[in-house]
Amino acid sequence: RMMKRQIACRGDINRMNGAFLATYESLIPPEEEKSKQKQLLALLDGIVSKEWPDARLYVYGSCANSFGFSKSDIDICLAIEDANIDKSEVLLKLADMLQSGNLQNVQALTRARVPIVKLMDPETAISCDICVNNVLAVVNTKLLRDYAQIDVRLRQLAFIVKHWAKSRGVNETYQGTLSSYAYVLMCIHFLQQRVPAILPCLQGMEATYCVTVDNIKCAYFDKVEKLYGFGSHNGESLAQLVWAFFNYWAYCHDYANDVISVRSGSTLSKRVKDWTRRIGNDRHLICIEDPFEVSHDLGRVVDKFSIRVLREEFERAAEIMQYAPNPCVKLFEPY
Ligand code: CTP
Ligand code: MG
C-alpha cells in the first residue's frame, strides 16, 4: 500500500483553511495561564532552594516549547550540579518538602523510565511533573521552540496534528503509539522537506549555540530571528500542509527503509543506523531519530500491533482530508 498512490490535492482545499486556523486558535493557551505557571514556578523555586541552594528549575516540554495546549501539565527539570547525587533520594526528599509545602497529590515515581515527582498546586489547579537532571530534554525543548519561531505554520500544523492524535487515541506511548515530542519532530521534518522548504535544518548550519550534556554535543544555529521569512517562497496554506502531512505518512513514507531525521534535514536509511533488526524491545517499525540522542529511535515504543493502528489512522486522516465535506470536524471525531 506504500507509494502506490500519488493523488493530487483536492481543488477546494483552501476553503478549509479558515476552519483549521480557527481550531488552532482555540487551542492556544490564554495569557493568564502563563502567569499562573510563573506563579507556581516561583513557589517551587522557593521550596527547592531551601534544600539545594545551587540547584535550578527549568521548564521543558509543552509549556516551554510553544507546542502546549491550554491546560497542559508543566514538565519541570531540577538541575543539580553535584554528580554524585542519587536521583531517587533527591526525589523522595523533594516529595517530602512539597508535601509540607501544602502541594497536593504528591507522588514520587522513582522506578519510572524517567523518575519524577508528581504534584498538583491547589492555588492554580496546575499539575506538574518534576524530574532530576534531565538536561537533554531542556535542550531539545529549546530546539523545538527555536524552530517554531521561524515559521508560524510549524506551530499551526503541530497543533492540528497533536489535537488529531489526542482525539484519535494515538498519543499514548504506553499503548505503543507516539509521544507529542515525536509528532512535533515529524512536523519539523515534513516542513524541512517541502519544496521550497518551509524550515531550514538548524543543526546543519553554523553553530551559534553549543552545549555538551551527558557527553552529547548539542550544537545548532539558534539566531532564529535572522531566519524570519525563510519559508516565504512557499505559499502553502495550513489546510494544504495538513493534507500533505497525512498523505505523506499514509502513502509516501517508506516505513521499511527510512528513518526521518530532523538533525540531517532529510531521511536516512535504516541500514546506516543499524535499525534493521529487532533488538530487545526496539522494533524500529517507524523510525524517528532524536535530534541529539541519535541512537534513540522515538518510534521504538511502536509494536507490530500499534503500527497497524497508527498507519490506519494516517490513512483515515488522509482519506478525510481528500474527500470529507467537512474535514476539520471529521478529522477530530473521537475514536
Ligand atoms: N522527551 C524526550 N524524549 C522522549 C519524550 C519526551 O526528550 N522520548 C522530552 C522532550 O523535551 C519533550 C518533553 O519530554 O518536549 C515532554 O514530552 P511530551 O509529553 O511528549 O511532549 P509535550 O510537548 O509535553 O506534549 P503534551 O502537550 O502532550 O504534554
Ligand atoms: Mg507534557
134 within ligand 1 shell (Cβ under 6 A) = no
Q: Output the CA 208–ligand 2 centroid distance in Å.
A: 27
> What pLDDT is attached to residue 82?
84
65 within ligand 1 shell (Cβ under 6 A) = yes
77 within ligand 1 shell (Cβ under 6 A) = no
What is the number of the ligand 1 atom nearest to the C-alpha of 69? 27
| pLDDT tier, 1 (very low <50, low <70, confident <90, very high otherwise) | very low
Q: Which three cell numbers stand for residue 201?
A: 535544518
| DSSP conformational letter for 232 | T
Q: Which three cell numbers stand for residue 110?
A: 522513582
Whether the pLDDT of residue 58 is over 80: the answer is yes
Mind listing the pLDDT tens digit for each residue in 305-329? 999 999 999 999 999 999 999 999 9
- pTM recorded for the entire structure: 0.97
Q: Is 78 within 8 Å of 117 (Cβ atoms)?
A: no
Question: How many whole angstroms separate alpha carbon 139 and alpha carbon 220?
Answer: 11
| DSSP conformational letter for 113 | S
First-to-final CA distance of the chain: 23
Q: Output the CA 6–ligand 2 centroid distance in Å.
A: 35
64-73, 76-85, 168-177, 248-257: segment of lowest average pLDDT: 76-85
Whether the pLDDT of residue 280 is over 90: the answer is no
Question: How many whole angstroms separate alpha carbon 36 and alpha carbon 112?
Answer: 28
Q: Is 185 within 8 Å of 160 (Cβ atoms)?
A: no
Mind listing the pLDDT tens digit for each residue in 7-44? 789 999 999 999 999 999 999 999 999 999 999 999 99
Q: Which residues contact 282 (CB under 8 A, 6 or more apart)?
A: 275, 297, 300
Phi and psi for 131 in degrees, rounded to 5? -115, 175
ipTM of the complex: 0.98
Q: Output the CA 123–ligand 1 centroid distance in Å.
A: 25
Q: How many CB atoms lie within 10 A of CB 154?
A: 24
| pLDDT tier, 87 (very low <50, low <70, confident <90, very high otherwise) | very high
Q: Output the CA 1–ligand 2 centroid distance in Å.
A: 34
